[in-house]
Structure 1
């Protein structure tokens, strides 16, 4: 077992500090193969707490090693239910299964797929972490002899080192994933790196897009709680997808309002990000139209929206008390975007932008007059987005 002792030592030292799950799993498998374990396919599955993702993992084969993510929706499908991971977590014990002479009517589809690809034997076992959480790993072989008891003992003996190397990676991925879920890409990286502490702020130029559902109060009064939440989730999906596809970050959900920014990284980047924000707004309108078709089929009322877009300097950072912080973005550009969104209903347009935005895509906009905006001394010119080409 000297090879396994050496492997555990490597995992607990170099592997644990590498922050590279692909490297860790590749080294783990290569060492076991050199020690005589006939591996063909290995899957190291990691669970973590996240409202969007429930797990991630690394799959090793002789052709290469790659990572993957698992959504909550996946866990209620036939792909997971009845699988080896489901079995070991439910029954709290390892699973050793011969892949020959399977029953297509009873055996899980994953076993049938492995057998069809030449797999002969399969082993799944739990991986325990120091925080009490449990994870899983599976091993398949194409050896005609399958896995021997000695080889399975070697896999079990190597698990403490594997857990030592993979646990910090999982904890970091879980924390980063949570930050990104609630703060967006750019801000989450800043918070993770410690560059934004309480009272510290970052100032930058950005395009600001503020969107808000129209008639939300009436919808809330006339619909069940479940229907309101379903509508909000669907609306949020439309906005977030369009913003992120166009190089923007969704910073905050404020009831039925959404605050997004498109950071301007250089002077030359300014027109491009203005156009990205306009493209995102058009994408939101198109997505909302498709959503309303589905709502009509379900005999539910349509959703309507107002969007205000402005460009200027903003400051973002953590504010609050020493024990409770909130991440937010502030500045005149944010206030103007919010207030011109508030004018969309009274002016009869779903998207209003300032002149600086309209000038980057003049063919898409029509001037709709000069208007007073609360907080500004002088009136500003506003432009409405033509929806004819959606």
Structure 2
């Protein structure tokens, strides 16, 4: 069995079972070098089915092998436009380029960067997966003779084996990233592991954070759809980032409402969860203030939010029909958080919390009296997040 046959055998057996793209790409490159292909830098790009990330990949050099992610925004920048990846995906054919004869004006900046670092020859080609998707690979050498025709044939002959090792990894990463995008980290892990099926639920202690955009109906009626979507995206960006930075999970967007939880972690106390929720609330308000400064300069409407916090026992899981499920969190604690958020309009405080939250973090909240809450017979004492809270 020659070296390339052994490489292909390893890829479709051990490489595929390992689920380790860095290990697979490292083996691919080192075996090709041993077979006589003078590799210096290899980039194996993998396309994502994801609304936030469009690709991921692995870059190999003799010094190290590491993975990376690519957002959709990158596709509009000079790093992609005019690149070899754009060319091979658009034209569906390989690209072979001599790095010693570059056009200073016409050739993409990446070719010049590789040439300045000692690269002499460049090859970009495609990998094809069973779902019909195409994925790009690039190879650079520093050999004085560049890539020979035999070198390129060896690379192409080895790619099907590499595809066998990487395709299941790409499919799993795409699926998991989609779950994480729509469900958040904790719930997506539970769904992926099969621990939450239809009708099953998990009960846990958590701080519930309900956020609402003030005046959304009026904004929708008085501005264009483009401006409404711009406002929502700004608002979502600020709140989601604040929640995730503080250790929470964003579970659901409900129109202009955002439902988030700060679940109890092993060894953590309710005081820690309440502090996390308070920190997320403060960060969200600060972020919105910064965003409004930019919006004011361009004449766009300013955005205001209300936040309701409550702590208690909640249940989350999948509910719905046999053919369509929704992942959500339910319980009296969730309902009260929503009702408390509604009180922010009348109290003048953007963040209000229940006594369960305030009792666990007394240094952060002060009482603003009792209020009647829809659906609850007795008045409820609510607490505002102090401006000077740490």
Q: Is the structural similarity TM-score above 0.5? A: yes
CA distance in 2, matches of 1:366, 1:61: 57
Which stretches of structure 1, 4 residues or longer, exceed 4 Å deviation after superposition?
none
Cα distance, 1:381 vs. partner?
Answer: 1.8
Cα distance, 1:232 vs. partner?
Answer: 0.1
Aligned to 2:64: 64
Cα distance, 1:297 vs. partner?
Answer: 0.6
Aligned to 1:193: 193
Aligned to 1:362: 362
- Work out whether residues 363 and 389 of structure 2, in 8 Å CA contact, stay in contact via their aligned partners in 1: no
Aligned to 2:258: 258
Aligned ranges 1:328-347 → 2 under 5 Å: 328-347=328-347
CA distance in 1, matches of 2:199, 2:340: 29
Aligned to 2:90: 90
- Work out whether residues 251 and 261 of structure 2, in 8 Å CA contact, stay in contact via their aligned partners in 1: yes
CA distance in 2, matches of 1:101, 1:130: 37
CA distance in 1, matches of 2:362, 2:283: 18
- Work out whether residues 243 and 250 of structure 2, in 8 Å CA contact, stay in contact via their aligned partners in 1: yes
Structure 2: gaps spanning 5 or more residues = none
Query: Are residue 269 (structure 1) and residue 269 (structure 2) matched?
Result: yes
Q: Deviations over 1:99-130 (max 9, x none)?
A: 11322211100001111111111110011001
CA distance in 2, matches of 1:203, 1:356: 18
Q: Secondary structure at the match of 2:269?
A: helix
Q: Secondary structure at the match of 2:260?
A: strand
Q: Secondary structure at the match of 1:362?
A: coil
Q: Deviations over 1:249-305 (max 9, x none)?
A: 000000000000011124643211110100000000000101111110110111111
Q: Secondary structure at the match of 2:14?
A: helix
Aligned ranges 1:202-241 → 2 under 5 Å: 202-241=202-241
- Label 1:267 to 1:389 Cα distance change in 2 as closer, same or farther (>3 A): closer
- Label 1:266 to 1:389 Cα distance change in 2 as closer, same or farther (>3 A): closer
Q: Secondary structure at the match of 1:366?
A: strand
Cα distance, 1:380 vs. partner?
Answer: 2.5
- Work out whether residues 58 and 68 of structure 2, in 8 Å CA contact, stay in contact via their aligned partners in 1: yes
Aligned to 2:248: 248
Q: Secondary structure at the match of 1:81?
A: coil
Aligned to 2:178: 178
Cα distance, 1:18 vs. partner?
Answer: 1.1
Aligned ranges 1:102-141 → 2 under 5 Å: 102-141=102-141
Aligned residue-pair number: 390
Aligned to 1:290: 290
- Label 1:339 to 1:45 Cα distance change in 2 as closer, same or farther (>3 A): same
Aligned to 2:352: 352
Q: Deviations over 1:33-61 (max 9, x none)?
A: 11111111000001121110111100001
Aligned to 1:18: 18
CA distance in 1, matches of 2:348, 2:316: 32
Q: Deviations over 1:115-146 (max 9, x none)?
A: 11111111100110011100110000111111
Cα distance, 1:13 vs. partner?
Answer: 1.1
Cα distance, 1:388 vs. partner?
Answer: 5.5
Cα distance, 1:91 vs. partner?
Answer: 1.3
Q: Secondary structure at the match of 1:378?
A: coil
Aligned ranges 1:26-65 → 2 under 5 Å: 26-65=26-65
CA distance in 2, matches of 1:363, 1:283: 18
Aligned to 1:304: 304
CA distance in 2, matches of 1:379, 1:281: 24
CA distance in 1, matches of 2:375, 2:221: 32
Q: Please give the root-mean-square deviation of Cα atoms over the aligned residues, in Å.
A: 1.3
Aligned to 1:315: 315
Aligned to 1:142: 142
- Label 1:173 to 1:268 Cα distance change in 2 as closer, same or farther (>3 A): closer
Structure 1: gaps spanning 5 or more residues = none
Q: Secondary structure at the match of 1:319?
A: strand
Q: Deviations over 1:291-330 (max 9, x none)?
A: 1111101101111110000111110000000001111100
CA distance in 1, matches of 2:380, 2:219: 32
Q: Secondary structure at the match of 2:299?
A: coil
Aligned to 1:74: 74
CA distance in 2, matches of 1:317, 1:28: 42
CA distance in 2, matches of 1:40, 1:306: 55
User: What is the TM-score of this pair, normalised by structure 1?
Assistant: 0.97
